[in-house]
Amino acid sequence: GLQRHFPVLGGPLGITRVGAVRAVDGVDLTVMRGETLGLVGESGCGKSTLGRLLIRLLDPTAGSIHLEGRDLSSAAGAELRALRRRFQMIFQDPFGSLNPRMTVDELVTEPLRLAGAPRAQRRARALELLAMVGLSAEHARRYAHQFSGGQRQRIGIARALALEPALIVCDEPVSALDVSIQAQVVNLLRDIQRDHGLTYLFVSHDLRVVRHIADRVAVMYLGRIVELADKRSLYAAPAHPYTRALLAAAPVLDPGRERRKSPPRGEIPSAMHPPPGCAFHPRCPMAAARCREERPLLRAVGARMVACHFADADGQLSGQ
Ligand code: SF4
Ligand code: MG
């Protein structure tokens, strides 16, 4: 209900940059306190960019970002640093940017050190944090390179928890791990969330992983949200043709029947220069003349939000 409303991102939010950073255009998204909002789409759709915008690792060129009623968009200096401590990020490769000469206890409590916490307090907190992710005191004085990929991701999670963040953006946190380890790490994230009332934005290209952890799912295509629904209805009856194509392309979970289906047909156009009308029309099996000219807005269709001219309240496509 409204009590749980946690308006982190108010829109429409935009970013347009040439070069490595892709466009995010007019996204309006609210993350509820205590939920996991899954954000899915193909590589290059802007989902990582959106995650970084949300926690002000990138600056929006338009729109606003709110946390508990405070506008973060204009925060700068000490205020921005304080706000950033309330947001953490878990990366695909947790140690890509971390100091290999730091021991695990130093790594997980570095955010506390930067915030001015004394050494004795950090030592004690390191053991608490490691216990939260299933590691023990004997791991504390070792170096990250001595650990497996799954253990390193546990260390990355412990570090993200150090400052008791309001929101954690998990950006493909299990994509680099073996499938057998992925479930362990996803379950750990879920348990920690339940025990500590955390809020996640879970960014992934992998619909199977998102299905295990998300409460709601936002599907992104070329810098825009095209469908937003609770998990159950999204997986049971995807309304947007792009969501349908993504689900149809996802490999079957049953390992005995595992087979890769083909991804949505056609090349992915650039988010910097999306096609006119509905950006999905060159790849959409249901595209009609109207789709090439008129851009569908994200609108309420039953209990979900869909950006397709032909979505109706039964989750069906009609009017063609
Ligand atoms: Fe397909 Fe048209 Fe719907 Fe876009 S608006 S998803 S092109 S049917
Ligand atoms: Mg990415």
308 lines ligand 1 (CB under 6 A): yes
Question: Closest Cα to atom 4, ligand 1: which residue?
Answer: 278
Residues 171, 183: Cα–Cα separation, whole Å: 16
Structure ipTM: 0.96
Best mutation site among 309, 312, 317 for ligand 1 pocket (most ligand atoms within 8 Å of CB): 309
Q: Report which ligand 1 atom has the smallest distance to the Cα of 287.
A: 7
Contact 250, 268 (CB under 8 A): no
Ligand at shortest distance from the CA of 47: 2
Could you tell me the distance, in angstroms and rounded to a whole number, from the CA of residue 47 to the centre of ligand 2? 6
Q: Residue 208 Cα, ligand 1 centroid: separation in angstroms?
A: 24
> What is the pLDDT, as a whole number, of residue 58?
77
Atom of ligand 1 nearest to the CA of 226: 6
Tokens 């930067």 locate to 114
pLDDT tens profile 128-170: 999 999 999 999 999 988 888 899 999 999 999 999 898 899 9
Question: Which helix (H) or strand (E) covers residue 11, if one does?
Answer: strand 9-15
CB 202 within 8 A of CB 48: no
pTM of the model: 0.87
